[in-house]
Amino acid sequence: MWLVPPTHDGQAPGQLFVMFHGQGGEPADLLWLARTLQAQWPGAAIMALRAPYPAGASEAEGRQWFVADELNADELAGQVAAGLPPLLKLIRRVQAQWQIAPAATALFGLGQGGLVALELSAADHALAGRVIAFSAGYASLPQAAAPETSVHLLHGAEDDVVPPSSSQDAYDRIQELEGDATLDILPDIGHELNVALVTRAIERLRTHVPLHIWQSALMSARQSS
């Protein structure tokens, strides 16, 4: 579902933002986030994907990316991994169609959708230059960090659905792997796509210099000295 189409202004998009809604949600739930991002990056195309599974007995209960009930950690990781290939294929196809580089691609997700965004980047290190995960962690902590991807983890301290420790654990693992990540746990916020969290995410996107660029600059400075 395109929230901001690639040809909305008659020009090819300069960036691609791909969004993943939370458990029990729908792509339309992310429209306000898309409009907020569009105001900051008017040249971006923004798409929101719909999860494959119903979250309840009726459509009114929304969709979910995986069915976590009564699964142990290994079973959950396996179910998530099995759902990644069609998403990877879709994103790569859109990138190729509109000639958008991975560095100009960002993945956004809330809850289950944030977990999917993190796992997509872990499965394909060249998929996106940025991952913005709200109230989420990994299904299985990665064994290697994506060398040219900045991961921004944002969580409400009062989240009683996905504990803030999920974001903390993800951040700690990326740091351990010498990857690029930021972590923001904001007080008095539960499991929600809160305005304060989105504002902080925009600040991160606007001000964060990717680690690989710092490393390249330092290497160049050493070589010239």
- Give the start-to-end residue ranges of the domains of the chain: 2-224
Please tell me the predicted confidence (pLDDT) of residue 223: 62
Residues of the chain below pLDDT 70: 7-10, 214-225
Q: By the 8 A CB rule, do 46 and 28 touch? A: no
Please tell me the predicted confidence (pLDDT) of residue 71: 82
Please tell me the predicted confidence (pLDDT) of residue 10: 64
Number of other CB atoms surrounding residue 87 within 10 Å = 22
In the sheet with 15-20, reading across from the earlier edge strand, the strands are 2-4, 44-49, 15-20, 105-110, 130-134, 150-156, 180-186
Q: Are strands 150-156 and 130-134 parallel, antiparallel or unpaired?
A: parallel
- 57 to 61, 150, 196: CA distances (angstroms): 7, 38, 33
The neighbouring-strand residues paired with 15 are 44
Please tell me the predicted confidence (pLDDT) of residue 164: 98
Distance of alpha carbon 13 from alpha carbon 74, whole angstroms: 39
Please tell me the predicted confidence (pLDDT) of residue 95: 96
Distance of alpha carbon 172 from alpha carbon 111, whole angstroms: 19
CA neighbours closer than 13 Å in the CB half-sphere of residue 24: 6
Out of 3.20.20.140, 3.20.20.150, 3.40.50.1820, 3.40.50.9100, the CATH code matching 2-224 is 3.40.50.1820
Backbone phi, then psi, for 48, in 5-degree steps? -120, 125
Please tell me the predicted confidence (pLDDT) of residue 69: 79
Q: Which two tokens stand for residue 152?
A: 């921004």
